[in-house]
Amino acid sequence: MRSIKIFDTTLRDGEQSAGINLNVQEKLQVARQLARLKVDIIEAGFAIASPGDFAGVQAIAREIKGVTICSLARAVKADIDRAWEAIQDAEDPLIHTFLATSDIHMKYKLNKEPDQVLEMAVAAVKHARSLCSKVEFSAEDATRSDWDFLCRVFSEVIAAGATSINVPDTVGYAIPAEFGRMIHYIKENTPGIEGVLLSVHCHNDLGMAVANSLAAVENGADQVECTVNGLGERAGNAALEEIVMAVKTRAENFKAATRIATEQIHRSSLLVSTLTGKPVQHNKAIVGSNAFSHEAGIHQDGILKNRMTYEIMTPESIGISQSQLVLGKHSGRHAVKNRLEELGYNLDEAEIEKAYQRFIELADKKKEITDTDLEALVRNEIAAFEDRFILDYLHVSTGNCTIPTATIRLKKDGELVQEASCGDGPIDAIYKAIDRITQITVKLDEYNIKAVSSGEDALGEVLVKVRENGNAYVGRGLSTDIIEASTLAYIHAVNKIARVKK
């Protein structure tokens, strides 16, 4: 079987999605999980884009081992130098440089003739290769480029030192049969292609990113570039979990395999969803909450007799436990730790203690705590950092014939500070009172509320997105009391702003 490399670009292309803004610590958390997932390459960011991007790429390069660390760079010397500065301490660094090759991009974006573009591409690869032993070249908008010109560019950059060639469907224009033919044509008509990796990077504008990527694998592609949960610009990228499980489930068709630890897929999806504030749709393939759910009587009957009747893969294969955990306030640390390990969470003692304390608080409010509740608690702790503002007291008065008011007391830098405010509703009143204490003025862009588990005593999860000085921050709160969850979510977002200011 051929080995297909998985090039993960969640932290670069995924983070370019509208409304996502991860800090360095959050990027490190994702990178650590990607290493557990055993992706082959982590594209950690676009180093020259901002000081924050550079710091994130550099931190990942210095810490994460056992995986290639990559930074994106335009075909410009300054970009390439900055990328190398960020990744040079990596165990296995890679510079990824790109340049558009389609007629429309060369004419309207680059304002250059094809020969000039070819010269730029060769110069960029030569410079990158003088710094780093691994260099990938991407022909932006490849699927709308002339195939013969594309082969010419690829042959020249291979001669200049490129170790991998990437064929991006930048605007999601391709269809599977066409894209497969294109990959086959490139392999047959590019001198030197047999000595490098052939990669693809498909966007999902027409909903065919995964199908196009798999068509490329069938036609000889060695590497697929993708993201967890399919995050990415516009309609997103090919979803890592769908690519990997399709290749694994239909191995006899693709005659290929990846090295991905598929049991880490579910946890990776949850972490990325939590930190980015982008929920996974319920009917999402592989990682959606309904992916392994059966409600129809005929389906349930078939599943009880033989799971293969309606499941083409097992939930355990992606890290989901089929059983429901019933834990209560009399459960001890050992039971909680054991169940977390069964769910795929390998936490240190400090993290377990934090999760257990939250578990005890919840157990006083709920009769039963399910796997879903427990995972939500852990996800909440994963996203937590040292906070400047901590909730100490909350009181709300509201009704249809009274003005909503809120009194809130926060621990601010270790001291208790109390404020009260009125508002259009209880949440508005709470948020105004918090603004008075923190002295941080923000604009609330999004407020989302959902039940994490079922029942009247279900955990409520609130996600808010706020904006301060043009920057977006996501906050998350979790409680059986939705007013408290809303408060915690807003404080979580404000604490992120406070960390940035500090």
Q: Which of 230-234, 282-286, 467-471 has the lowest mean pLDDT?
A: 467-471
pLDDT digits (tens, 9 = 90+) for 452-498: 766 666 788 899 999 998 888 888 888 889 999 999 999 999 998 88
What domains does the chain contain, in order, with CATH numbers?
Answer: 2-276 (3.20.20.70), 297-382 (no CATH), 389-501 (3.30.160.270)
Q: How far is CA 416 from CA 16, 419, 431, 437, in A?
A: 38, 10, 17, 10
pLDDT of residue 325: 45
At 44 the three-state DSSP class reads: strand
Residue 154: both structure tokens together? 């690829």
CA 293 to chain centre: 24
Mean pLDDT (whole number) for 244-261: 96
Q: Read off the pTM.
A: 0.81
Give, to the nearest 10 degrees, the angle between helix 147-160 and helix 176-189. 50
The percentage of residues in the chain with a pLDDT greater than 90, rounded to a whole number, is 70
Mean pLDDT (whole number) for 69-86: 98
Q: What span, in angstroms and rounded, lies between the C-alpha atoms of 188 and 153? A: 14
Mean pLDDT (whole number) for 187-216: 98
Q: What span, in angstroms and rounded, lies between the C-alpha atoms of 309 and 204? A: 31
Mean pLDDT (whole number) for 41-59: 97
Confidence of residue 368 (pLDDT cuts 50, 70, 90): low
Closest C-alpha among 347, 332, 344, 498 to residue 410: 498
Q: Is the pLDDT of residue 352 over 90?
A: no
More confident residue, 76 or 293: 76
The percentage of residues in the chain with a pLDDT greater than 70, rounded to a whole number, is 91
Look at strands 223-226 and 5-8 and give their pairing: parallel
